[in-house]
Amino acid sequence: MKDKVHEYLKRIDKAYSLGLIGKDCLSHAIIAHDDYCEINQNGYCNCDPDITIKTDKGDVKIDSSGHLLEDKS
């Protein structure tokens, strides 16, 4: 049986394909799962984690559809 891909990995892949994550810079993904998320007990992600991509060109927050999250500050 093929392993399921965690939904948050699909979001990062979509952000990359949309050009939100640069191909010409170093990137570091920070995935902040909820406390109740089963991934914290080596299970499958069942939350809507906050995703921040840190790059040498700045930080990008990704929404649940893989698009850029608008900064409301």
Q: Are 38 and 45 spatial neighbours (Cβ–Cβ below 8 Å)?
A: yes
Of 73 and 65, which is predicted with more confidence?
65
From the list 2, 7, 4, the residue with the least C-alpha distance to 49 is: 7
pLDDT of residue 3: 65
pLDDT digits (tens, 9 = 90+) for 19-64: 878 778 788 899 999 999 999 999 999 999 999 988 887 888 888 8
pLDDT > 80? residue 73: no
Token pair recorded at residue 65: 């559809």
What own/partner pairs with CB < 8 Å and gap ≥ 24 does 6-11 have?
6/39, 6/44, 6/45, 7/45, 8/45, 8/49, 8/51, 10/66, 11/51, 11/62, 11/63, 11/64, 11/65, 11/66
pLDDT > 50? residue 15: yes
